[in-house]
Amino acid sequence: MAKGSAASVNRRTDIVSAAIEVFAEIGYYRATTAQVAERASISQPYVYRFFTKESLLVEALEVSWERIIKAFQIVIDKETPKQLEIGLTRAYEEIMESHRNEILLQMQAQTIRETPIREAMRTGMGQVKELVENAFIQAGFEDVRDRTSDFLARGMLCNVSMAMDMPNLMVKR
């Protein structure tokens, strides 16, 4: 990869990271690309070289879903069926702790009606659901659909618990 393109990839990553922080802190609709640029220590026109505000949110969401999928895949590849669900839960808890803004961003995006954003959310959630459901099937679990729905619902309740700073809502299993 040429120097310029490696630098561009790094800057794109910096912009997305800054956007995750800004959008999570003040909300997508209130945030501006100028604020994202300032957080990334670059100019606003440079942000527009790569993204519109909407495409920036879509990419930020894709990054957040990819992180969950990778973490879950690691658990699926190493855990025994008996430890699978516990391992997935712990992996998600670690993401919630280390990448809180990504989870807050996903929560906000659930209420945004723009088609590309809704599609990013549908795709990400669908990939996670399919991954978990297939892992539960491979593990030989019964009532896989119900168990997958319960697992995802507990994850969403954990998100609410974290966002509201109400740890007593967390469901331990």
Q: What is the CATH number of the domain that holds 30?
A: 1.10.357.10
The letter for the amino acid at 125 is M
Distances in Å between the Cα of 71 and the Cα atoms of 77, 103, 165 are 10, 14, 24
Token look-up 């120097």 returns: 3
Contact criterion met (CB below 8 Å) for 150 and 97: no
pLDDT tens for the chain, 173 residues: list them. Answer: 444 577 778 899 999 999 999 999 999 999 999 999 999 999 999 999 999 999 999 999 999 999 999 999 999 999 999 999 999 999 999 999 999 999 999 999 999 999 999 999 999 999 999 999 999 999 999 999 999 999 999 999 999 999 999 988 775 55
pLDDT tens per residue across span 85-131: 999 999 999 999 999 999 999 999 999 999 999 999 999 999 999 99
pLDDT confidence of residue 171: 59
Give how many domains the chain has, as a whole number.
1
pLDDT confidence of residue 7: 73
Q: Which of 109, 88, 84, 111 is nearest to 158 (CA)?
A: 88
Contact criterion met (CB below 8 Å) for 75 and 91: yes
pLDDT confidence of residue 29: 96
For the chain, give the secondary structure using H, E and C. CCHHHHHHHHHHHHHHHHHHHHHHHHCCCCCCHHHHHHHHCCCHHHHHHHCCHHHHHHHHHHHHHHHHHHHHHHHHHHCCHHHHHHHHHHHHHHHHHHCHHHHHHHHHHCCCCCHHHHHHHHHHHHHHHHHHHHHHHHCCCCCHHHHHHHHHHHHHHHHHHHHCCCHHHCCCC
Q: Which domain holds residue 122?
A: 3-169
pLDDT confidence of residue 4: 54
